[in-house]
Structure 1
Amino acid sequence: MRIKAIRTIGMTAALLATLTACGGRGEEAGSVGQGDCKGQQTTGITDTSIKLGGSYPLSGPASAYAEIPKGAKAYFDYINAEQGGIDGRKVEYLVRDDGYQPPKTVEEVRRLVEQDQVFAVFQTLGTATSSAVWDYLNQRKVPQIFVATGANKFGADPAKNPWTIGWQPSYHTEATAYAQYVKKLKADATVSVLYQNDDFGKDLLNTFTAGIAGSGVKVIAEQSYEVTDPTVDAQVRNLANSKADVFLNFSTPKFALQALAADVRNIDWNPKHVLAQVSNTSTNMKPVGFQNVQGVVSAAFLKDPGDPRWTADNGMQTFKTKVAQYSPGADTGNGHLMTGWAMAESFHKTMAAAKCPTREGLRDAMRSIDNVAVDLMLPGVSMKTTATDGFPLEAIGMMTFTGDHWTVSDEVISTAGK
């Protein structure tokens, strides 16, 4: 899916630089920048089209996430064909491969903004990668909407970074749920932690540690890894020596799978395994053998496509039917694919609520989402934001792997306002 850069020279390059520098307030946008919206940015949007761009790890150590843009594209193809797009504007969705490398993210996002002239960057995936471009996008006043990471910083200060917003429950919400779970599981539990050595892993670890403060639960072993490491087998062996009651696996899919497999091989250690939400799709766990991951615990805010509980669910039926139609061969049992679909629907509803079909209109709409539900979210989970609350989703449910799918509890843990 890599697309070679288009090189422009001479007068063409100079003209392009001039257009992008002025924010795209041109007459070519038709009526989208007229009336009360006059003078606002209309780059990438016309009366009949809207151009979005995203940067994802289609290759490299986090390539399991390549299913996310595939799910988003299936959704956009569906609404383009059957609903005329978003308010009559068909979505053009450009996807770039950054390999989960921040310098590459900078390169690809600049191409999307300055060469492709997208209306908005609909998703950059990863904490470090998204962090590498958010200053640039805020300076350019380009919406960076529904960043695919739960890092707390993307919702903590809306006034400082008004053009950037996350989507999934923050790592603060997720780790708070794990802390509550472990305290209920065993009042004096000992805990070992494997975590990615970046904001993703540290957010989860630090929030979990804060969540157990004052209780009898203690973290007795910690091991980190780098995304460039070939394996985490050594780290898991070290954690096994702690004989902790609980193993927190705060890893992205490649390393989470390695840690699950290593845990199975350590027959002298049988901890309660808690898996980070970003890696808990059934597809990721299948190679370890479903018989080996029974009882693993994780968190969720979306329905599991493999759970029979949702077989007759309208949202799940639409997702599976339309993906089969617009992305033949795609695995509708893959949770990452389904996440991409849900993210795209979230964008659809947010953009449709914008008072102006402009970048400023989208910015304001993503800061005023009022309890908007998306079909694939768990009951009791919906999106809500304000000018001072930049966390769209602040509720999560705990679930346990049973048979060949996740079984979610009816209780939803909320950190809204916290």
Structure 2
Amino acid sequence: MSVRRIILFGVALALLAQPALAQKQYGPGTSDTEIKVGQTIAYSGPASAYGVLGKVEAAYFKWLNDTKGGINGRKVTFISRDDGYSPPKAVENVRSLVEGDEVALIFGVLGTPLNMAIRPYLNKQGVPQLFPAAGSSALNDPAHFPWTMGWQPILRDEAKFYAKNLLAHNPKPKIAVLYQNDDFGKDLLNGLKEGLGEDADKMIVSAQNFQSTDPTIDSQMVILQNSGADSLFLFTYAKQAAQAITKMYDLNWKPETYLHLGAASVGATFRPAGLDKSKGIMTAGFMKDVTDPRWANDPDVKTWTEWMKTNMPGTDINDSLTVAGYSVAQTLEQVLRQCGDNLTRENIMKQAANLRDFHLGLLLPDSRINTSPTDYRVVTYMQLQRFNGANWNDVK
């Protein structure tokens, strides 16, 4: 009898435990029907060209809700607010989103200075800061800031990638650098110096900076040309990149030019500057150029093209920012799908740090995403590309 009682007792305990094991777990901003996602981004101000990221992401989540019922049966409520590319405004927006709207996470914030401004608050509050549109290495520091994870290639890695390419065919270059005077620009400049090695200070004959709010960078470009440099690095966003390209043309200055990948947009940079004026500029490509004929029959590009026609009519598909916004939104979708019915903030970060051999259709074919609790880098594969006046050619 004692053995029988023990068995029955064990069965009873197992039955009692089953509902607990199947119980759904929710944190702020999540429920049986909803996942709240917050964003602050520049729809106005000096970086307003990048506001298209937020518009594409909003369209993607709406499409998910309308066609697929959201993610795991939950609709995504996407709350995106304008910060004018102002760090204080970004902090204000984020506090409102977390404390007022009670979002589950903050997603896709533009710019290194803004992300650095909101990072302390979000890590103190234990709120995921996922996939910012910024490449600072400081946004990939899980040991000290476990709630913050970047998306695009790290700025320092990008700059070292350019340095390696330049030194491979020009061992003694004379380098000019135009950089934004903030964490974003300085991170790229420091990465360039690391990539150039011990002779970096001799190779860099002139480095000129600017503020994001400066109306023009013409005077800096004249100084850089007068330095005698044969190589130029543009560590800028789209507005200043377009100005620099225009000024180079006016000065008839034709240095070997490398442009920060975040500004290497046909729609946001090259078209305003002039497509012919932009010929020859190089960047670290990591996404398919959807306007390039070589991808014309690519299934993922075809799917994206149809999606854009239906969900973003009238938007310039030459603007690579549309591809980025679509791909970043897909990455967040994958993370939230992996969460299943455990939508606590802790599990959202856990799943973000456990992406395994994940492939996004609009990244270059050899790109695979693998994250871990100790390595938050998401997109790491880069291919040097040169603009030919219409689209990009790989540089072998």
TM-score normalised by length of structure 2: 0.91
Tell me the amino acid that sits aligned with residue 105 of structure 2. A
Residue range with higher mean Cα deviation, 368-377 or 95-104: 368-377
Gap regions ≥5 residues in structure 1: 1-33, 412-418
Paired residues, what number? 375
For residue 208 of structure 2, what is the aligned residue in structure 1? 223
> Distance in 2 between the 1:205 and 1:348 partners?
33
For residue 370 of structure 1, what is the aligned residue in structure 2? 356
Shift of 1:287: 2.1
For residue 299 of structure 2, what is the aligned residue in structure 1? 314
For residue 81 of structure 1, what is the aligned residue in structure 2? 66
**Sequence identity percentage:** 36
Shift of 1:334: 1.2
Shift of the 385–296 alpha-carbon distance from structure 1 to 2, 3 Å rule, reads: same
Tell me the amino acid that sits aligned with residue 343 of structure 2. P
Q: 1:203 aligns with which of 187, 207, 213?
A: 187
Q: Which has the larger radius of gyration?
A: 2
Which structure features the higher share of helix residues? 2
For residue 291 of structure 1, what is the aligned residue in structure 2? 276
1:256 aligns with 2:245: no
Shift of the 37–235 alpha-carbon distance from structure 1 to 2, 3 Å rule, reads: farther
For residue 163 of structure 2, what is the aligned residue in structure 1? 179
For residue 384 of structure 1, what is the aligned residue in structure 2? 370
> Distance in 2 between the 1:214 and 1:139 partners?
38
Given that 1:79 and 1:85 are in contact with CA atoms closer than 8 Å, whether structure 2 keeps it comes out as: yes
Tell me the amino acid that sits aligned with residue 104 of structure 1. K
Q: 2:143 aligns with which of 149, 152, 159?
A: 159
Given that 2:367 and 2:379 are in contact with CA atoms closer than 8 Å, whether structure 1 keeps it comes out as: yes
Tell me the amino acid that sits aligned with residue 368 of structure 1. N
Given that 2:26 and 2:343 are in contact with CA atoms closer than 8 Å, whether structure 1 keeps it comes out as: no
Instruction: Report the 3-state secondary structure (helix = DSSP H, G, I; strand = E; otherwise coil) of the residue aligned with 1:374.
Output: coil
Q: 2:380 aligns with which of 369, 387, 394?
A: 394
Given that 2:231 and 2:255 are in contact with CA atoms closer than 8 Å, whether structure 1 keeps it comes out as: yes
Gap regions ≥5 residues in structure 2: 1-18
For residue 405 of structure 1, what is the aligned residue in structure 2? 391
For residue 348 of structure 1, what is the aligned residue in structure 2? 333
Shift of the 102–38 alpha-carbon distance from structure 1 to 2, 3 Å rule, reads: farther
Instruction: Report the 3-state secondary structure (helix = DSSP H, G, I; strand = E; otherwise coil) of the residue aligned with 1:124.
Output: coil
For residue 326 of structure 1, what is the aligned residue in structure 2? 311
Shift of the 232–36 alpha-carbon distance from structure 1 to 2, 3 Å rule, reads: farther
1:99 aligns with 2:84: yes
CA RMSD of aligned residues (A): 1.8
1:64 aligns with 2:49: yes
Q: 1:335 aligns with which of 296, 317, 320?
A: 320
Instruction: Report the 3-state secondary structure (helix = DSSP H, G, I; strand = E; otherwise coil) of the residue aligned with 1:188.
Output: coil
Given that 2:25 and 2:343 are in contact with CA atoms closer than 8 Å, whether structure 1 keeps it comes out as: no
Residue range with higher mean Cα deviation, 254-263 or 378-387: 378-387
Shift of 1:332: 2.0
* CA displacement, residues 205-258 of structure 1 (integer Å, 9 cap, x when unaligned): 111111111569811110000112111000000000012110101111111111
Tell me the amino acid that sits aligned with residue 246 of structure 2. A
> Distance in 1 between the 2:40 and 2:173 partners?
40
1:189 aligns with 2:166: no
Shift of 1:41: 4.9
TM-score normalised by length of structure 1: 0.86
Tell me the amino acid that sits aligned with residue 326 of structure 2. W
* CA displacement, residues 237-286 of structure 1 (integer Å, 9 cap, x when unaligned): 0000012110101111111111111111112x321111111111111211
Tell me the amino acid that sits aligned with residue 335 of structure 2. T
> Distance in 2 between the 1:159 and 1:213 partners?
27
Shift of 1:311: 1.2
Shift of the 36–135 alpha-carbon distance from structure 1 to 2, 3 Å rule, reads: farther
Shift of 1:36: 5.4
1:271 aligns with 2:275: no
Tell me the amino acid that sits aligned with residue 195 of structure 1. Y
